[in-house]
Amino acid sequence: MNIRTEQFKKQAALALKDKTMQEAISRASRRFSQNRTKAFGELPEAEALRTRAHEIKAEAIEHLDATLEEFTASAQKLGIIVHRSADGVDACRYIGDLAQSKGIEMVVKGKSMTTEEIDLNRHLEASGIQVWETDLGEFIIQLAGEGPSHIIAPALHKTQQQVAALFTEKLGVPYYEDPEKLTMVAREFLRDKYFQAGLGISGANFALARTGTIVILENEGNARFSTTFPRVHVAVVGIEKVIPGLRELGVFLKLLARSATGQKSSTYVSLIQGPRRPGELDGPEEMHIVLLDNGRSRIRQDVEMRPSLYCLRCGACLNVCPVYQRIGGHAYGWVYSGPIGSLVTPQFLGIQRAKYLPMASTLCRACAEVCPVRIPLPDLLLTLRRRIVEQHGLPWLERKMMEIWGACQTSPGSYQAAFGLARIGQEFTPGFLPAGVQLPEKNFHRIWKDGQD
Amino acid sequence: MDKTDRLDRLELELKALQARTFRAGDPAALKEILLSLCRDCPPEAIAREDRPWLEKLDLDIPVYKPPVYMTADGLHPGNGPWKPLRDITVGITGVDYALAETGTLVLASGRSGGRGLSLAPRHHIALLPLERILLSLDQFLDLYPEGENFLSQGSAVTFISGASRTADIELNLVLGAHGPKELSVITLCFPVGIAG
């Protein structure tokens, strides 16, 4: 998708006026986070699991070279073709070339933030390949030509009336508002595609180094379709997804669905280990894994920011974020939104291009409270803010105001004088402070003093 | 927790996931349940997975065997081998393990075609041997301490917790998003002779 992170302020301001979107986003995120709270309440070992999950990720990423090497060797033993891509351009080219070399004209895709990140669809479509997103939410935003507004529920911002109108326009079906009917329209439309497509593309939530297995969580079954029926399966996997093995996977399986939607388990967890073997009746005949770096090694080397890579993309931090709830996902200007978007987008795209995002946080710590892998999001956002100031300095006005503020704090006398001036000054600058906020007649210092006398 | 406690727990969780549950005390009872579930379905639209212990149950239901997989002969798979699967509306598969705590069915056998048959038909009927009910995910993972032996389970191991679902349109829960709209689990409370 187009990168619009530079226009964050403008987009956020526009979003603040969009009451329909705000209502939809906050209703959904409230529901997700209530469900999460309930699910965690029923899991007595939840806090210990979060700590363990953090440790596993820290360990795997600390020794990433070795972990990746082990994963690659295991996957190759299963007959999987493993390709390392330094960036999105290389990954897109690899997949495009693969499709063309096999004469594949149609691709079905399971939901994957990583492929959104590298803009894979646009690349494939430019080479004349038809690409269908098959997750219902992704399908909706693909038809609408939009990006995801939430990590796990990408079409959260759309009302059923909007979806109905979209389906009528793009698919030529009668206008139904009923979500059940709309879902069936998508089901029928996409069902044929699974059987026609020569290539299925998925992401992966985890990759297991010991066995070479990739793990995909979903509720709809579209990822299972996309990875079972087309004759070639390509999984695009960020290098940070590798964990040691099954035992560690157990920790994450208990946390991920509960964090995302409050489910005890996702409806489908697929552990895929290679193409169809001799004697098996289904599965693709060829399987590729694209291990994508695209800036992840750089983030890993930046020891302060390294925990950004522990993220499972569950969306829990979005659901509790007061900023995300007001401005929604699109304002962030790229694929990742909410607190995790504010954190990773500047690292992926460069601070220059996304310098407002780390500011879009109240530092209330709600995100850190719910993160299943205990990423200290507010602390990392502060680190980014510090770096932005170090590189660019503060804006002139903010710097001057801080200097004046600092000077006023040097003695009780100057503080009192400044307070007095400000109190009088506010009478002449209506609108400078928000409605209902006024400096009081007497400040605490004065009241205290009066009480003493 | 004994076998029946685990079964009780499993059924409770499955019902919470909108799945239907049944218990069959003997092969005759199983046939009766299957008959009642498939009453409105033409026989040619019903298929079962190709598993040795399902064979022994003598169900009189045709085995699902996808024809030889398409190779690079230029034909779209949709024109050929998957056609039969499109027309099946009830898929009957065995279950390797069930995890009571989360209402999860584990389909680990890669050889028998259950990967597609548990997904494409509108109604998935899962046959679960009573002794294969474990309490938790941890108990399942404990079966594979090294991970190596897990690979012998085939090219795909699938955990299924309820019927396919989505809430992508204004958070309304809709079943049958892409996969089965209905999941029925029949627990077989009689010996079925599974090896291993």
Q: Calculate mean pLDDT across residues A81-98.
A: 98
Q: Where are the domains of chain A?
A: 42-297, 396-452
- Is position B40 within any domain? yes
Mean pLDDT of chain A: 94
> Computed over its alpha carbons, how large is the radius of gyration of chain A?
25
Enclosing H/E stretch for B90? strand B90-94
| Residue A401: pLDDT over 60 | yes
- Is position B62 within any domain? yes
Cα dihedral A289/A293/A294/A296 (nearest 10): 140
Cα–Cα distance, A213 to A71 (Å, whole number) = 8
Q: Report the pLDDT value the prediction gives residue A431, as an integer from 0 to 100.
A: 72
* Percent of chain A scoring above 70 in pLDDT: 100
Cα–Cα distance, B37 to B24 (Å, whole number) = 13
Instruction: Find the CB nearest B160 among A103, A268, A279.
Output: A268
Contact between A190 and A108 (Cβ < 8 Å): yes
Q: Report the pLDDT value the prediction gives residue A117, as an integer from 0 to 100.
A: 96
* 3-class state of residue B98 by DSSP: strand
Nearest to residue B66, comparing CAs of B111, B127, B125?
B111
Confidence of residue B87 (pLDDT cuts 50, 70, 90): confident
* Percent of chain A scoring above 90 in pLDDT: 81
ipTM over 0.85: yes
Confidence of residue A446 (pLDDT cuts 50, 70, 90): confident
| Contact (CB<8Å) B113/A281 | yes
Return the structure tokens found at B16.
Answer: 């919470």
At the top level of CATH, the class of A42-297 is alpha beta
| Contact (CB<8Å) B159/A102 | no
Q: Report the pLDDT value the prediction gives residue B70, as an integer from 0 to 100.
A: 42
| Contact (CB<8Å) A267/B115 | no
Confidence of residue B82 (pLDDT cuts 50, 70, 90): low
| Residue B114: pLDDT over 70 | yes
CATH of the domain at B134: 3.40.50.10420
Return the structure tokens found at A121.
Answer: 């669809």
Q: Report the pLDDT value the prediction gives residue A447, as an integer from 0 to 100.
A: 86
Query: What residues form DSSP beta bridges with A215?
Result: A206, A271
B96 touches chain A (CB under 8 A): no
pLDDT one-digit tens code per residue, A295-328: 999 999 999 999 999 999 999 999 999 999 999 9
Confidence of residue B83 (pLDDT cuts 50, 70, 90): low
Query: In terms of C-beta density within 10 A (0-12 exposed, 13-18 middle, 19 or more buried), how is residue A231 classed?
Result: buried
Nearest to residue A230, comparing CAs of A184, A278, A185, A276?
A276
* Percent of chain B scoring above 70 in pLDDT: 88
The strands making up B90-94's β-sheet, listed across from edge to edge, are B20-24, B182-188, B123-129, B90-94, B46-48
A28 touches chain B (CB under 8 A): yes
Nearest CA of chain B to the CA of A92: how many Å? 23
Contact between A99 and A129 (Cβ < 8 Å): yes
Tell me which residue range forms the domain holding B72: 3-188
What is the domain count for chain B? 1
Nearest CA of chain B to the CA of A38: how many Å? 15
Confidence of residue B66 (pLDDT cuts 50, 70, 90): low
Biggest CA–CA distance in chain A, Å, is: 95
Return the structure tokens found at A369.
Answer: 């409270």
Instruction: Find the CB nearest A160 among B78, B165, B170.
Output: B170
Q: Chain A, 349-368: which have a CB under 8 Å from a chain B CB?
A: none
Count of CB atoms situated within 10 Å of the CB of A103: 9
- Is position B193 within any domain? no
pLDDT one-digit tens code per residue, A134-183: 999 999 999 999 999 999 999 999 999 999 999 999 999 999 999 999 99
Contact between A260 and A29 (Cβ < 8 Å): no
Q: Calculate mean pLDDT across residues B38-42.
A: 89
| Contact (CB<8Å) B177/A28 | no
> Computed over its alpha carbons, how large is the radius of gyration of chain B?
17
This prediction's pTM: 0.92
Query: In terms of C-beta density within 10 A (0-12 exposed, 13-18 middle, 19 or more buried), how is residue B60 classed?
Result: exposed
